[in-house]
Amino acid sequence: MNSEPTTDKKSCINIAYIDATNLDKALRRDLGWTLDYKKFRVWLREKYKIERAYVFIGHIPKYKDIYDELENCGFELIFKEVVYQRGIPKGNCDSDLLMKASSDYYEGALDKAVIVASDGDYAPLVKLLHSRERIETILSPNDAKKCSILLKRTGASIAYINDQRSILEKSKNEKAPDGNGTS
């Protein structure tokens, strides 16, 4: 039985799958800068021909303005229900991202994927897509030292978002989203 999906090249598109918490934590908390999501969306379209960009994010109603901003920049949000552990919101989206990317691949909707994360939990997905020549790159929010060794071992191309800081950073006079780990 062949597990390779049948595809109509005309219906396949390049898609970005973005782990919002991983992205926010790495850039803002670890590297000290805030991503301009509008510039990021344009950059994804121009650099990687991304037609759809999914942001996997925990849903906290009080951050509706942030979600609206992301949608206005051209991202499609996929929400995860948030649970609270000792008052801290947890909206782990790893499995949702894995399922969506796998589903898009097996349904024949995916030409090339860009995975935006540094988390080794995505290594099995990256291995699958890489073996089928369906991954464009991993965009690691972390620097090379903090990007998971499991992702590095997949053999897929890895680019570091921090290398694009000069063109993707939100200017200092723009209001940054709340530092809640959901943007």
Whole-model pTM? 0.88
Of 32, 16, 15, nearest to 24 by C-alpha is 32
Question: Using an 8 Å Cβ cutoff, are 17 and 56 in contact?
Answer: yes
Average pLDDT along the chain: 90
pLDDT tens by residue, 94-149: 999 999 999 999 999 999 999 999 999 999 999 999 999 999 999 999 988 899 99
Question: Using an 8 Å Cβ cutoff, are 41 and 74 in contact?
Answer: yes
For residue 51, the one-letter residue type is E
Q: Are strands 76-81 and 158-160 parallel, antiparallel or unpaired?
A: unpaired
pLDDT tens by residue, 35-92: 999 999 999 999 999 999 999 999 999 999 999 999 999 999 999 988 888 988 887 8
pLDDT at 15: 98
> All domains of the chain, ordered by start, with CATH?
13-168 (3.40.50.1010)
For 1, which DSSP code? -
